[in-house]
Structure formats: structure tokens, C-alpha cells
Structure 1
Amino acid sequence: MTDTSVVLENLVKPWHVQVASTSALAGAVADAAAKDDKERLEDGREPVRRKPELRRVPAGEVGQSVTVTPWEVLHTLGRATVLSRQGAGRGLAEHWGCLKYCQALEGSTGKYMKLSEEGLNPRRHYKTVQSGELGIGFALAVAERIVRKRYPGHGVSVVDADIALQAGWALVGKDVRRRDWVRQRPDFFLEAWHPGEPSKVVPLACKGTHGKTPYVYTQLASASAQVEAVHVGPWNETPVLVTSTELLGQGGITVHVLQTHGDGALVFAPDDPAADADQVLDDLNIYPDVRVPDPDGGEDQRASGFQVHPDQYAWFRRALARAEAAGLTGFTGGGELTAQYLTKRQGRRHFEGFTHAGTGIVQDVEIEIDGVTFVGTDHVFRLNGTRVEAFSGLAENLFRLLRDGRVEQYRREAHALRSSWRSARFEDDWDGPVSLREDGSIMVMSLLPETQRRRRAKKRS
């Protein structure tokens, strides 16, 4: 059994993660999509709509690898899934699920990240969960770098696509008359934003697999159907990213990624009140369809999906900004604070009041690292029999703004602080792994001193 202090040290060692994005990959995915379409027709099923012309990502936006620590991957996964409500923990306990991978990742002699012995030995039913969740963490590690390269000087937010879309379209429940119309959708939106400028929206679909490389092609073909469901502006003018993370790739973990070009900019009048993220958002009831131009110049065809039209750009920008704020307050452990940023359909009621042990957490912990105070919540558990404490939170000055509903001011100040977070070296001032993201969120872990515990004495006969 690995010593717990060694586990914590390994979490902040940087390793390379391989990235594959080539024209050959795009061709293999197109072949996999064509094969699936043929099989569907033979079975009497209708082929799915897919994003056309997936291409490789230019070398200037992503190289053959990215360098990241396991702890940064877990932080990214926790931030992305905090509102997903998929696990047994529910609600604000959701993001702690990432901690089960503390010993799943390690480095190889070639400086590339791979699954550790523990990561290679999950139970059979757990493999799908592991590949899906780690696939999210690695996909976002690559996708965020691509978007930052593409839009220099911008902040990049990761927003759960279900949360954002539910503010405009009913995705579940009695309001959904045809479920096949809303079944396909991206996993996340990456919003590149700069105060005073239009946001750029990039839908992302991410997969993960323990299988061999040919299965990657099938996954990417499936992902292309997910991103085709959302169009910002006219049909097929939205940039997208699709990824499949191969956990057992030759030489370590490999993220396969393809893209399409597009605009995806949310352009609206600077004084449009509908864009003000400080204002409460109400659910809309937009009909779930996409207008596809007729190739012969006739009337537009109506297809299933989600289309954000120009008169909805300001509203959608507000929906994205408030969904990001909900994710940040959820990461700090605040139910009521998270509820203020969600609509009824987005699950506001789930975060109101102390209805469940998982949602009854409050921001009751402060830590200071290198003179900076962070507000959040903690989680104590045993790692290899040793008590450890994990903390997730937000820089105090940014937390106060979101606590008070000042999302626009948060964005201005968070954007101004991005470079200082990038240059921070908090690891030297904290006895354990540290990860700090550009949004001001932090996740750390440390050993806890063992305390004398009272034990119930056995009754003597």
C-alpha cells in the first residue's frame, strides 16, 4: 500500500497527456459515421444528424501533448460536475466524487500520464463510470487550452450544457412531448469572454474509453451528433469540439480531438438589459428545433435541436454567466447561494433549504495560502487508512461578489486577476496538493493529525 504522503506528492507532479488531432483521424471518424448510418438504414432506423466536416485542430492551438498534474485534472472534473446531480451524494456533495481518483493516475518513465495499478483494476461495472468521468477531466484540460489559444486575452468558463439549456428548453419531465427531439445535446459549453466584448460559445462533447483506438472513431462519430444539436445563430456556423479520451492508449492516456470552424459570437447592444447577469433569470419555453436551409433555396427545414437566434443572444449570455456563478457557489458549498442563480427547471428547489445531508453544506471554512484567503467547504475522509482533508472554495474577494449577486463585477475582477493566479506558486505555502483555476476556485488537500478516539468497550461476560 502506498504511503499517503507519497500519494499527495504524486498528485501535483506534472505529466504529459498525449493529444491526437489529425486529418487521418477526421477521415476515420467520417468512415465510422457512414458505417453507422448504413446500419441504421438496414435496420429501418433514421440516420442521426451529425456535425459535418469535422477537422483536425491546428497545431498552433494544440500540440502533440499538454502538461497537467493529476490534481488539476480532478479539480477540473469537480468544477465541471458540481451541478450534475448524478451521484449518490447529490447536490453540493457531487464534486467530491472526483476524489475517488486520487490514486488512479501516475506518470510513466517517458513522462507521460497513465492509469496506475489501482486505476487499471476497477470493477467491471465501474469501468464505464471511470472512463466517462476521467474523460471529462482530460477533455476539458485540452479543450480549455484550445479555446484560450483561439481567443487570447479571454476568460474561459465551463458550463454544464444541461443546466444552460434548461433555462430555455424543457429537457425532462411532463413538458417534453417528444423526447427524441431533446435527447442529443453537448456535454458542456465553453464560453470565451472578455468584459465589454461579445462572448464566444463553443459546444463540447466528450467521451472516454478503455477500449482500443477503433472504438474512439465510433465515440467521436456519436459526439458529432451531440454537438450538431446546438446552433448559435444560423445553422452550421457554430464552432464545436469533440473529444474521446483513450485511457489505455499506447504510451499512456491520449485525448483524441476534432473541431469545426465557426463564429458562435453572442453579439448584442451593449446596453441590452437582457444580458445583465445580475438580474434573475426566468425559464423560457423555446420550441426545440433548428432551421436548416434548403439546399435548393426553398423554405427552411425544421429539425430537432436547440437554436439560439440573434434576438436571444443577450438572454443566452446571461444564462451562461449565471450557470457559471451557480457552479462556483456550489463548489464553495452554499445551497441558498447556488439556488439564487438557478431557475425552477434548472433545479433551484434542489438547492433551497437543508433538504438533504448533501445539500446542507455551508461555506464554513476559511484557509489562507500565501496571504490570500479562500472561502469554501471541506471534506474529511481516509486515504489508505490515513485521515486527510480536502477543501474546495473561492478567493474571498470574488466569493463576496457572488454571494451578493454581483456576477458582472465578479467577471470584471476575475478577468483582471487571471495572470496573478497563473503565476501563483501556492504549493510552497501549503503542505499538500494545490490547484488554482483562473476563475479563482481552489482545491487543496492535506494530512490531518491523528487524534485519540474513544472506542466502545466490549462487555465482559
Structure 2
Amino acid sequence: MDIGPALRSLATPARLPVRSSETDAARVQLLAKKAAVDTPGIPYLKEPVPVSVPGELQTSPAAVLRELGVATTLLTRSQFVTVSQHWAHVRYCATLRAGRSRLLALTPAAARDVVHHHKVAQSEQLGIGLALIVAQAALQRRHPGWVFRAVDADVALRHGYIDDVVGEVRNEPGTKKRPDYFLVGHRSDGNQTDVRIAVLECKGTHGGMREIYKQLADACLQVRTVTIGKHPLYGLMVASRLAHTGVHSYILDPPGDDELWSGPSQEFDELINEAPDEFSWRIGEHEPDASQGAPAPATGTNPPPAAPTGPTEPAAPYVIPEDRRSWLAQVLNRTAAASVLLFAGDSSTAAHYTTTRQRGHSAGMLPIEESWPDSISAQLRIPYGPVLNGTSFLMPLSGGRTLVMFRGIERRVHQDLQEGNLRRYIRDAGRLHRWWQAHRQRSRELLSVGTDGTALLVRVVNERVRPTAPSLNRTTNRR
């Protein structure tokens, strides 16, 4: 079977329609209120509102897979981590295509041949990649010129909370509802740096609009379970409807605050290059123990916004103290860096940007941690372009050919992260994406590039490739 058509389909630009309307918001609100009445213990929080977002986005199946791959990388010592990191890409390579009129759609096989319980997994996974693309577009319209990066909410919350921040988000009352991701954004003019935050809930379904509205109603609670003090965070909910006739995404916004940090750039640089404290807060503990470390300095942070007016809301289960805004900025930026490194296969460097609890261990549980298995081992130059550091997955094809799927990050930003220079990484991470935007029309490669410095490249070579590669030179000056 010729793999060429499938690869060309992955690389083909496609249109993704996006909708956000008053009608959708009203229907979701009704379902959210009904859920609050029918299920004791579920507090109904703020009503959803429409979002200003382009009615159609330009993307590609490969872009969805790259977003999914970065967002779902695993921090683990498993010797099979290389295979698991590639699984999201390989499993869903034949799932999306540019269909009629270049509309992003499910392939006939994905729509027709997948049994129900596999469709649930498929819609959940693809829903993550699609939601990240839609949410970043909405945030770009809200804050032009800003760059937002995704951070797994469970991994970030585990940095401060010690109870129940394990496993998957479950559809249960109380504290087990959590958002999927935080989106942390930056803007700097060289002298002043500003940081914003949004929470994101990702949904996907093969069903109709009834299921879309139900998923968004469920999300109304999940995006409201984290606050800074008494101030709910700005939240986005994205549900995508998957069909062979076309994929459509729907986005709503439970309003909240998105300002996290503002101050001199030098102070921000020093802040994020320091390892943040690891606290032992408990879920539902709305006044965390103030004795656990001195409060973050007040300088360089915005004064907390005015308390919200209107009806009193139930307290959120995850409360970040007002004086820990700087701490949260540290955690989110370092966790985002770890995700990028994991995507490229550099687990050992990623571990330096996380804490023992984020890596799945209680502090002091293991006196000496085992080494982390790395799969990063290859360098690849984009034709006439930058060099990438990363890891390859090789699959033999008929006729002596080999499929090469490469995941990596731009060489210079990888070096920044190896050296512990998070400030320089944030400044330079978009360099690869800017190059690609200027040269993509000339390229015949199946390549997807992100503003975080990551790249997914797939190609077929007309020879057998040995599954070994020379090790990369590594730098040990990490933080």
C-alpha cells in the first residue's frame, strides 16, 4: 500500500470552522443549571459567554498532531517512553484529512471503521489538539502579539497541592473536576514583561450538537475550579464535533481575570530561572498555610484586581494565594519548558524543570532518583533551514523504504534549555516558527512548527535506516 497519499493528506492545509454565539451560550447555560439542580454537590458557577474568534482557522492534520504530541508527553522513567511519546502521532496519522473544499474532516476509515469505545478515545485525543489550536487563536485576538503555551493542569497543580491531584479528570462532584490545561502567555518590550494566564477545557465528540452542549456544560465547572485568591481565572471551553463531512469547533468563555505578573524584565528573568518552592497545600484548603515559606515579594507584580461583585460563588477547591502569583508564574513557565523537552525526547533535562512530586514522587520518598531515559539522539537539518535536535521513530515500508517520523526542537533553543537559561528560551522560542512562515511555500516537507520551538517532520526515505544515531553533545549546566 502506498503511504504517499496519507502523508500528503497530513501536510495539506485545511480549514477549521469555529463558532461562538449567544445561542450556544444560552443552551449551555441551561444545561449547566440543570446539572447543578440534578446533582447535589455541584456548584453552578458563572454563565458562559461568546468569544471573539475568527470564524475559520487555517490549520492542517499535522498541526493538530503536533499540538497533541506536545500537550500529552509523559514524564516517566519507563524504558518504553520513546514508543509512548510517538504513539499519539502514529495512531492518529490516518485520522484527519483536508476534505471537500479543504475542510478539515475525519478520514472515511476513522469515521466508519472505528468501534464506539475507540471513538471515545479518538475524540478525546483529537479534541485536545483541536482545542489548543482554537484557544490560541482566541487568545491571539484577545491579546495581539502575545504567545501562549500549554501546561498540563494536573502536573502544574501537583507542584503545590499534595492530595488528590492524581489520575485523570473525572466527571464527579467536588474537587476531582479540574481543567485540562493552563495557557501561559508573555509579552516583553525588553524593559517590561507581562504574563497572563487562562485555563482551558478540551472536549471532542462524534455526536451531534446535543452532545456538544452537554460537554460544554460539564466544562463550565472544570474551568472554574482554580482561583487566585477569590478571583476566578479567565477560562476557555472548546468542544469539537468530528465527522467525515467536516470538523467544527465551538468555543465559549466563562469570564475571569487573566493578569498574572507584570514588572521589570530583569526581575522576571531572575524569577523564572529560579526553582520555585514546593508547597504542601491541600485541596479545599482555602487559606493555605502562610508559614510555608515567605510570601513572594510584592514588587514586580500587579496589585490584585478588585473583588468580583454579584452573587457569592462557592469557594474553588484549588486556591492559589494572592501573594503566590510569582510562584505560579515560575511553575507554569518551567512546566511548559519541560513539556517541550519531553516532546523532543530529552527527559533528563525536563526533569530539572520539575519537582519530585511533579515527577510522581513525594519529597524524600526516594533519596536518590534513578536516571531518566532519554531518546533524544539525532540532529536533522530542515532543507535550507535550521537544525533540529530530537528523536526519530522508524518504520520499515515495502520496497526497501523507511518512514521517518521526527520530533524535535530548534537546536539553539534546546541549548538554552540545557543550560538552564529559561529567559533566553522564551525570547528565542518563536524563531523557528517565524522562519517557517517565511519559507513554507517553498518546502515539500511534511512539517509542522510551533511557536514554542517544536517541530514534527515526517518523510519517506528510499533506503533502510538503521535505528541508531550518534549521540548529541550534551551540556550539564542545568537548573
Same fold per superposition (TM over 0.5):
yes
Partner of 1:10: 9
Partner of 2:459: 446
* Mapped partners of 1:452, 1:225: distance in 2: 49
Q: How does 1:420-439 map to 2 (within 5 A)?
A: 420-421=434-435, 423-426=437-440, 428-429=442-443, 432-439=445-452
The change in CA–CA distance for 1:317 and 1:452 in structure 2 (over 3 A counts) is: closer
**Distance apart, 1:362 and its partner CA:** 2.9
- Say whether residues 1:204 and 2:200 are aligned partners: yes
* Mapped partners of 2:79, 2:85: distance in 1: 8
The change in CA–CA distance for 1:310 and 1:35 in structure 2 (over 3 A counts) is: closer
Preserved contact between residue 74 and residue 99 of structure 1 (Cα < 8 Å)? no
* Mapped partners of 1:223, 1:452: distance in 2: 46
**Distance apart, 1:301 and its partner CA:** 7.9
* Mapped partners of 1:200, 1:294: distance in 2: 18
Partner of 1:227: 223
- Say whether residues 1:372 and 2:378 are aligned partners: no
Q: Choose 344-353 or 66-75, whichever is displaced more.
A: 344-353
Partner of 1:106: 97
Q: For each residue in 1:228-275, what CA deviation from the matched residue of structure 2 results, as whole angstroms up to 9, or x when unmatched?
A: 101235333x211001111138x4111111013333211355466897
Partner of 1:246: 241
Secondary structure of 2:381 counterpart:
strand
Q: Choose 224-233 or 125-134, whichever is displaced more.
A: 224-233
Q: How does 1:144-293 map to 2 (within 5 A)?
A: 144-172=136-164, 182-195=175-188, 196-236=192-232, 238-248=233-243, 251-267=245-261, 270=264, 276-289=271-284
- Say whether residues 1:391 and 2:406 are aligned partners: yes
The change in CA–CA distance for 1:413 and 1:35 in structure 2 (over 3 A counts) is: same
Which structure 1 residue ranges, 5 or more long, are not aligned?
454-461
Secondary structure of 1:194 counterpart:
strand
The change in CA–CA distance for 1:451 and 1:269 in structure 2 (over 3 A counts) is: closer
Q: Choose 165-174 or 306-315, whichever is displaced more.
A: 165-174
Within the candidate set 348, 351, 366, 1:339 is matched to: 351
The change in CA–CA distance for 1:296 and 1:404 in structure 2 (over 3 A counts) is: closer
Q: For each residue in 1:53-92, what CA deviation from the matched residue of structure 2 results, as whole angstroms up to 9, or x when unmatched?
A: 211112xxx122211111011111101111377x995478
**Distance apart, 1:227 and its partner CA:** 0.5
* Mapped partners of 1:412, 1:452: distance in 2: 36
Within the candidate set 65, 76, 92, 1:74 is matched to: 65
Q: How does 1:325-336 map to 2 (within 5 A)?
A: 325-336=337-348
The change in CA–CA distance for 1:111 and 1:94 in structure 2 (over 3 A counts) is: same
**Distance apart, 1:213 and its partner CA:** 1.0
Q: For each residue in 1:308-348, what CA deviation from the matched residue of structure 2 results, as whole angstroms up to 9, or x when unmatched?
A: 23310111001011001101111111121111011111117
Partner of 1:34: 33
Q: For each residue in 1:269-318, what CA deviation from the matched residue of structure 2 results, as whole angstroms up to 9, or x when unmatched?
A: 54668972212234212243486989899xx8873421223310111001
Partner of 1:139: 131
Which structure 2 residue ranges, 5 or more long, are not aligned?
167-171, 288-306, 467-479
**Distance apart, 1:370 and its partner CA:** 1.9
Counterpart of 2:315, as a letter, is A
Preserved contact between residue 284 and residue 316 of structure 2 (Cα < 8 Å)? yes
Partner of 2:303: none
Q: Percent identity?
A: 27
**Distance apart, 1:419 and its partner CA:** 6.7
Counterpart of 2:184, as a letter, is E
* Mapped partners of 1:452, 1:18: distance in 2: 40
Q: For each residue in 1:138-173, what CA deviation from the matched residue of structure 2 results, as whole angstroms up to 9, or x when unmatched?
A: 111111111112111211111111111111112548
Secondary structure of 1:423 counterpart:
helix
**Distance apart, 1:382 and its partner CA:** 4.9
- Say whether residues 1:316 and 2:328 are aligned partners: yes
**Distance apart, 1:99 and its partner CA:** 2.2
Counterpart of 1:401, as a letter, is D
The change in CA–CA distance for 1:108 and 1:406 in structure 2 (over 3 A counts) is: same
Secondary structure of 1:342 counterpart:
coil
* Mapped partners of 1:363, 1:50: distance in 2: 49
Counterpart of 2:409, as a letter, is L
* Mapped partners of 2:153, 2:97: distance in 1: 30
The change in CA–CA distance for 1:273 and 1:294 in structure 2 (over 3 A counts) is: closer
